Amino acid sequence: MSRIGKLPVNVPNGVTVTVNGQTIKAKGPKGELSFDVMDLCTVAFNDNAVQIQPVDKSKEARSAWGMSRTMVANMVQGVANEFTRELELVGVGYRAQMKGNVLSLALGYSHDVEFPTPAGLTIATPKPTEIIISGIDKQRVGQAAAEIRGFRPPEPYKGKGIKYKNEFIFRKEGKKK
């Protein structure tokens, strides 16, 4: 049984949720999102909370139950408060700056890496070695952060590269003579 699926998704003040069949729409001060729940689950909205239940006790229904509840919870939280991911650039000469709607990264290559800002997200560079990605869709924010990190992942010897703000890089010892 799903432990997370049993919990109802409480709707905070300022957010309106509408359930139309298997489609859930959430509208809040930051924007509007919708999610289609799989047919293996049923959706009910009462007492200012969204409750999701599996149709039967099959493995697929129980898997969809927990996933659907988490997707709805992330959707409700995203329209109330934005999700953010912070990245740090570590390395001599590594820097980032916004050029209009494009993130330009100097990562030690012979050319600058250009990353266009995806629709619905905002990217800010308060310092040349810091990138902040924010948006209402948690999956899209995480995907954009992972793509940016993928241009130069941190390496274990000197720790150079793009890393998440609170990520710990396991350091290795270099060659010995």
Q: Is residue 90 part of a domain?
A: yes
Q: Which amino acid is at 169?
A: I
Q: Are residues 48 and 21 in the same domain?
A: yes
**pLDDT at residue 2, rounded to an integer:** 61
**pLDDT at residue 176, rounded to an integer:** 85
The dihedral region occupied by 31, where left means phi > 0, alpha psi between -120 and 50, and beta the remainder, is left
Q: Using the predicted structure, report yes or no on whether residue 79 has a pLDDT greater than 90.
A: yes
Q: Are residues 40 and 87 in the same domain?
A: no
**pLDDT at residue 123, rounded to an integer:** 96
Q: Of 150, 144, 152, 98, nearest to 118 (Cα)? A: 144
The pair of three-digit structure tokens given for residue 161, joined into one six-digit string? 């590269």
Give the CATH number, domain containing residue 37: 3.90.930.12
Q: Is residue 3 part of a domain?
A: no
Q: Are residues 101 and 89 in the same domain?
A: yes
Domain span including residue 155: 83-164
What is the arithmetic mean of pLDDT over 85-111? 95
**pLDDT at residue 1, rounded to an integer:** 56
Quick one: how far is CA 141 from the chain centroid? Answer: 4
Cα–Cα distance for residue pair 13/81, rounded to 1 Å: 12
Q: Whole-model pTM above 0.85?
A: yes
166-169, long-range: CB < 8 A, 24+ apart: none
Q: Using the predicted structure, report yes or no on whether residue 114 has a pLDDT greater than 90.
A: yes
Contact of 135 with 119, CB cutoff 8 Å: no
Q: Using the predicted structure, report yes or no on whether residue 72 has a pLDDT greater than 70.
A: yes
Q: Are residues 31 and 72 in the same domain?
A: yes
